Chains A and B, each alone.
Chain A
Amino acid sequence: MHYLIGNLGHLLVITAFVTSLLSAFAYWKATTLKEIKEKNSWLTNARFAFVAHVLAIFGVVAALFTIIYKHYFEYHYAYAHSSLHLPGQYMLSCYWEGQEGSFLLWMFWHAIIGLILIKTQKSWEAPTMVVFTLVQAFLTSMILGVVIPGIDLKLGSSPFILLRDAMDDPIFKLQPDFIPKDGNGLNALLQNYWMVIHPPTLFLGYALTLPPFAFCIAGLWQKKYVEWVRPALPWSLLGGGILGLGILMGGYWAYETLNFGGYWNWDPVENAVYVPWLILIASIHTMITYKNSETALKSSIILVIAVFLLLLYATFLVRSGILGDASVHAFTDLGLSGQLLIYLLFFTLGAIVLAIIRWKEIPSSEKEVSTYSREFWIFLGATTLCLMGFQVLLPTSIPVYNKIIEMFGGASNLAPPANQIEFYSKFQLWFGVAVALISGTGQFFWWKKIDKEKLKQEMLTPLLITLLLFAFTIAIAKVYNPAYLILTLAGLYLIVSNFKVLFTLAKLNPKLSGGAVAHIGIGMMLIGVMFSAGYSKVVSLNNTGMLISKELPTEFNRDNLLLFINEPRPMAGYDIEYRGERLEPRRKSGYINKNDVELTLDPFKVVAIKDIVFQNKKLYSAKDTIEIFPENTFYEIELRRDGKVAASLFPRVQINPAMGGFIASPDIKRKFSRDLYTHVSLPMNREEEPEWGKLEEVKVKIGEEFFINSKYSTTLEEIRRVDEIEGVKLAAEDVAVQAMIKVQGEHEPYTVSPFFLIKDKSQVGRLPAEINDLGIKITLLNILPETNEFLLGINARQKDWVVIKALEKPLINVLWVGTFVLMIGFGMAMVRRFKE
């Protein structure tokens, strides 16, 4: 038992909690006191406390990592989220599989950002850090794991809890020091490189919304209503970029790993972060307007506060268990819902009350903005983004309304929209169009003073180019749906008009072109989303007409395809053929045919029967022991066009008890214009004994050719006498022979050797040989010395099969490239603002 590290970790959590409160108090003093000397001494105290807090957080992170890395399974966190076989790079992912670790990650980023703020923001330090340290205190309380004596209230859930305290297993009564040999392991779905970097990126995005909020609150509090915008803006830009990147990484992971056929499912958990991101983007725009023209200060304040509060609301939704019935991947309740609610309400009420008190004093411009001004268009765009967020927020909160109605004794049977994707898309599409048109047009007002005539002049060329590109696009892509046509047009317009701005700026001042680049990225993303989602089509349609019930309506057609091994079928212009089950070695890239290896007692190891060659490269020699991932099976699917192999896909099926038993992941054939996305929808159940057909007998001579199942050419090549069978020596009077039989399969010859044995001169034993890929079993039934013939018995079974689903996703790469361009734009804008 390693008690020290856990006790140390727990002590550090408590230290972090106390120091955050101390630091908050000291910063409060430093803010409110008037006298310079006192102020400075409190400031020193506050900094000291904050540095101690940061060190404690780092210590907690290190302690938890040590527990995971050293496999201390006496701790619940290591037991629940890790295992001995977990590859090193995924040890980090163990952190964010659990709630406590993800809180820790969030605090870790806050700690680093806090240090940067102390270093760079001298005049703002004290009031902003009050907000910062309070947030940290709330977050630390979530992992505190302390029971307040007297009222028996448990505060937080500690990651350092021992297994015996977390689990009610009888073994701990008999043997309190019991330590399991191995952990439960990290959910295999999360053993993916995207899952190593997606959560830290997302939580960095979360953390980056705190500085703008802190500056804004500090501004309201210290009556510096105007000045807070300048230091806040670069943080908002960085946050907008990182949070957007984090969200899209999650989408990309889902696209590669899950099998719902897309990257965005409008699941409440996804929506919960999408809404704050939209509002964050809106706030960036109003802040930029404000910096240039003194309008939109009030809306900036509202939006910056709203972003942070919406993130807290998202945290509440995802972690309180309230979404339990509505989402497929929300966390379960750790008993923190009350604490989360207090966290949310504290900052909501605090910020709103402060804003109301100060509202009258906030300067605002009464001047009516002109339609031909940049401010008007930016404001319009920000409003659209807010409505866009509102439309998603409202239905996502349905479980919350039900809860509230229940709290007041009512009953509500409201469920989320049955078809979430259709429901959200039909609105978001038009908001997307509006955003594209507004931001495309708004860019012409870059130089502020522009009138109707000048605008017409400016817009003429971009409009013509847009129309030309539009005609070209729809002619090639055959878009006929009116809504999609309009979205394509709007997206192209956004791209073209921003290219124009980009060219003009490239001559004048390239540093200012971040906005134009970001908007081009958005335009590309809109077009990519429209094509990949709107024109995604199932290509694995079943047309055999075998239905389960004749009474079913005719539209009951199926989107899956049943493939028997080595029997090609036409699909999407290819001949598609299932080639068998494969394993993935741990140490080398490539795939191993299951028929080429033998299982061992250790599920993580197999032994090669023959040399293992993958795509003309020898991976392993015969008799090598190979480490594998036992939970994963890959199904090789070959696509051929005109007889040539166009692609080999390896969709995966993973045995994953944590997710309900079974997870299929796709494999994707990528081309620039479209992705072909294929996943297994039903694998064969290997645990069921196969049903063998009735035995057929054939009499053959050595060297004679015959046919099995009237299609596989077979030859009995040789009969040889052996004196051992599978390593077992035979007694002197026993006789055993081995037949060498060659069967020509669809792609390759198989050589099998059934045995025939006479033991103790009378007992006959037969050891049949099976060819898995062909679904046949050959037995050497008898030797007929009179005619020099051999009697072979052949059984056949249904061949191996797999059911797959395949979809085509056109232009999805435009979305990914667009995301990349958007990030470059954010980066450029941020660098410029940080320099100011």
Chain B
Amino acid sequence: MKKSHILAIGVIAVAIVIIISTAGDASTYVNFEQAYQLASTGSSTQVHVVGQLPKDGAGQVVGIEKSTDNLSFSFLLLDDNNKEQKVFYNEPMPPDFLRSEKVVVIGNYQNSQFIAKKILLKCPSKYQEQKLNAGV
């Protein structure tokens, strides 16, 4: 066998490993139900759940609990199936959290609680403002 053939086989092998691992490590967008089922099978895979913060009649976000030292907080999140779930996050609450339209939590269930490792916020009008600002 020529060296170039060995090299080619090596390259293909590595490429296959990369493809398989990408497919295996890619996370998924799921709802809380699916995330819970996944965790109850013993898997500790991290998933993405997209949801909204529940609001009361006056438009105030409900269900936020901060620790006394402000170092962590929990909140309620409504997923696309309208299932409400308490989510814990071990970082201080991002100041713009309450204004976000959509929240993506990345994490998993641990003992029937959803622990978020990361939170992505989708804030309204992040780039495009459609109203002129003050000083008009």
Chain A residues in the interface with B (C-beta under 8 A):
167-169, 171, 180-182, 184, 325, 328, 332, 368-369, 371, 376, 379-380, 383, 387, 390-391, 394-395, 398, 413-419, 423, 427, 542, 544, 546-549, 551-553, 556-560, 562, 658-662, 681-683, 685, 801, 803
Contacts and interface: CB of A to CB of B under 8 A. Distances in A.
Interface in B1-54: 2-4, 7, 11, 14-15, 18-19, 21-22, 25-30, 45-48
B69 A184 contact: no
6 shortest interchain CB distances as A-B pairs: A418-B46, A661-B96, A682-B92, A548-B67, A660-B123, A418-B27
A681 B94 CA distance: 8
Contact of A546 (B68, B74, B126): B68
A383 B19 CA distance: 17
B92 A658 contact: no
B27 to A, nearest CB: 4
Contact of A562 (B69, B73, B90, B117): B69
Given A394-B19, A662-B96, A548 B4 contact: no
Contacts of A560: 71, 91-92
Contact of B88 (A394, A548, A660): A548
A660 B96 CA distance: 6
A557 B91 CA distance: 9
A413 B110 CA distance: 23
A330 to B, nearest CB: 10
Contact of A387 (B15, B71, B128): B15
B29 A415 contact: yes
Given A394-B18, A681-B92, A682-B93, A415 B69 contact: no
Given A427-B21, A551-B113, A558-B91, 20 more contacts: A379-B7, A398-B26, A415-B29, A415-B48, A416-B27, A417-B22, A417-B25, A417-B27, A546-B71, A548-B72, A548-B74, A551-B111, A552-B113, A556-B115, A558-B90, A559-B91, A560-B71, A562-B71, A660-B96, A803-B92
25 contacts: A169-B132, A181-B136, A371-B3, A376-B3, A380-B7, A387-B18, A395-B26, A398-B26, A414-B29, A415-B27, A423-B25, A548-B67, A552-B113, A552-B115, A556-B90, A560-B92, A658-B127, A659-B126, A660-B99, A660-B121, A662-B94, A662-B96, A681-B92, A682-B93, A803-B92
B18 to A, nearest CB: 5
Contacts of A658: 126-127
B95 A544 contact: no
Interface string B89-120: 01111111001100010100011010101101
Contacts of A662: 94-96
B56 interface: no
A376 B6 CA distance: 13
A633 B111 CA distance: 41
Given A182-B135, A398-B26, A418 B47 contact: yes
Contacts of B81: none
B18 A661 contact: no
A546 B135 contact: no
Contacts of A391: 18, 22
Interface residues of B, number: 62
Contacts of B120: 328
B128 A547 contact: no
B64 to A, nearest CB: 11
B91 A169 contact: no
A546 B127 CA distance: 38
Contacts of A376: 3
A553 B110 contact: yes
A387 B13 CA distance: 11
Contact of A368 (B2, B47, B88, B131): B2
Contacts of A395: 22, 25-26
A551 B114 CA distance: 12
A562 B70 contact: yes
A387 B68 CA distance: 50
A548 B66 contact: yes
B95 A661 contact: yes
B22 to A, nearest CB: 5
Given A547-B72, A548-B72, A562-B69, A413 B92 contact: no
Nearest to A396: B22
Contact of A180 (B69, B128, B136): B136
Given A171-B132, A180-B132, A387-B15, A660 B27 contact: no
A427 B30 contact: no
B114 to A, nearest CB: 11
B2 to A, nearest CB: 6
Contacts of A180: 132-133, 135-136
A755 B110 CA distance: 58
A181 B132 CA distance: 11
A558 B111 contact: no
Nearest to A551: B113
Given A416-B27, A547-B67, A394 B22 contact: yes
Contact of A184 (B99, B117, B126, B133): B133
A635 B121 CA distance: 25
A602 B68 CA distance: 37
Contacts of A681: 91-92
Given A415-B27, A558-B71, A559-B91, A661 B99 contact: yes
Contact of A682 (B25, B95, B110, B127): B95
A415 B14 CA distance: 23
Contacts of A325: 104
Contacts of B123: 660-661
B95 to A, nearest CB: 4
A418 B18 contact: no
A181 B26 contact: no
A546 B69 contact: yes
Contacts of A379: 7
Nearest to B133: A184
Contact of A413 (B28, B96, B129): B28
Contacts of A369: 3
Given A415-B48, A416-B26, A418-B48, A542 B71 contact: yes
Central interface residue in B45, B111, B126, B135, by most chain A CB within 10 Å? B135
Contacts of A553: 110-111, 115
A803 B19 CA distance: 42
A189 to B, nearest CB: 13
A549 B113 CA distance: 11
